[in-house]
Amino acid sequence: MSQIKTSTMGIPSQVVIVGGGTAGWMAASLLQQAWSQESDASTQITVVESEDIGTIGVGEGSTPTLREFFRKLGIAENEWMPKCSATYKCGIAFPGWLNGNGGSPDGYFHPFFSPLDIQTGEAFMRNACLKRRGVNAAVQPDDFFVGAQLSRQYLSPRLNVSLPFEPEYAYHFDSALLGKFLRERAKKLGVQHIIGTVSDVKRTTTGDIECLYLSRDKRPLKADFFIDCTGFASLLIGKTLETPFYSYSDNLFNDSAVAIASPLDNTQPIPSHTESTALSNGWAWKIPLTTRNGNGYVYSSGYQSAESAEKELRAHMGVSDEVEARHIPMRVGSIRQHWNHNCLAVGLSQGFIEPLEATALMLVQYTLTHFIKAHALALSKGNIEHYRTGFNNNVSQTFAGIRDYIVAHYQCNTRTDSDYWIDNRSHNHISDNLAAILQCWDQGGDFEAELCAQKHQQVYPRPSWYCLLAGSGRFPVSGQRIENAHGIVPTPSAAAREYTAKMSHKFQDHRTLLQTMYGKNFI
Q: Which residues bind ligand FAD (CB under 6 A)?
A: 18-24, 48-50, 53-56, 58-62, 175, 197-198, 229-231, 233, 235, 257, 296, 328, 330, 347-349, 355, 358, 360-361
How far apart (Å, rounded) are the C-alpha atoms in residues 133 and 131?
Answer: 5
- Secondary structure, 3-state, 241-305: CCCCEEECCCCCCCCEEEEEEEECCCCCCCCCCEEEEEECCEEEEEEECCCEEEEEEEECCCCCC
Check the annotation: does 198 bind a ligand: yes
Question: Do 149 and 504 meet the contact criterion of CB atoms below 8 Å apart?
Answer: yes
Does residue 25 contact residue 47 with C-beta atoms inside 8 Å? yes
**Residues carrying an active site annotation:** 89
Q: Taking a C-beta distance cutoff of 8 angstroms, is the pair 365, 359 a contact?
A: no
Select 84 or 378, whichever has its Cβ closest to ligand FAD: 84
Tell whether 23 is in a known binding site. yes
> Is 20 assigned a ligand-binding role in the annotation?
yes
Count of beta carbons in the 10 Å neighbourhood of residue 433: 18
Cβ of residue 284: shortest distance to ligand FAD, in angstroms?
11
* Residue closer to ligand FAD, measured from CB, 270 or 330: 330
Say if CB 93 and CB 467 are below 8 A apart: no
Angle at 370 between CA 20 and CA 274, to 5 degrees: 60
Residues 6+ apart with CB under 8 A from 97: 103, 107, 108, 278, 283, 409, 412, 413, 414, 415, 472
Query: Which residues, other chains included, contact 237 with Cβ-Cβ below 8 Å and sequence gap of 6+?
Result: 228, 243, 335, 337, 338, 340, 343, 345, 349, 350
Helices (H), 16-74: 22-35, 65-73
Between CA 275 and CA 284 the distance in angstroms is 8
Q: Which is nearer to ligand FAD, 299 or 387 (CB)?
A: 299
Would you say 348 is a known binding-site residue? yes
Q: Compute the least distance from the CB of residue 35 to ligand FAD, in Å.
A: 20
Is the C-alpha dihedral spanning 493, 497, 498, 503 positive or negative?
positive
Q: Please say which residue, 147 or 351, places its beta carbon nearer to ligand FAD.
A: 351
Nearest distance from C-beta of residue 297 to ligand FAD, angstroms: 9
290/500 with CB nearer ligand FAD: 290
Judge whether 357 is annotated as a binding position.
yes
**Cβ-contact 452, 446 below 8 angstroms:** no
Task: Report how far residue 386's alpha carbon sits from residue 431's, in angstroms, rounded to the nearest whole number.
Answer: 27
Cβ closer to ligand FAD: 23 or 408? 23
- Among residues 344, 379, 333, which one has the least CA distance to residue 228? 344
Going by C-alpha positions, the residue among 82, 49, 491 that lies closest to residue 231 is 49
Q: How far is the CB of 344 from ligand FAD (least distance, A)?
A: 12
Cβ-based burial of 482 (10 A; exposed 0-12, middle 13-18, buried ≥19): middle
Q: State the minimum distance, in angstroms, from the CB of residue 108 to ligand FAD.
A: 19
Shortest distance, position 287 Cβ to ligand FAD, whole Å:
7
Rounded to a whole number of angstroms, the minimum distance from the CB of residue 347 to ligand FAD is 2
- Of 229 and 400, nearer to ligand FAD (C-beta) is 229
The DSSP H or E segment spanning 95 is none
Helix, strand, coil shares of the chain as percentages rounded to 5?
A: 40, 20, 40
Nearer to ligand FAD, 49 or 310 (CB): 49
With vertex at residue 488, the alpha carbon angle to CA 487 and CA 490, rounded to the nearest 5 degrees, is 130
Which neighbouring-strand residues pair with 225?
A: 15
| Shortest distance (Å) from residue 225 CB to ligand FAD | 17
Which residue in 443, 504, 495 sits closest to 124, CA to CA?
Answer: 495
- Residues of the binding site: 20-23, 89, 198, 348, 357
- Residues of the binding site for 7-chloro-L-tryptophan: 89
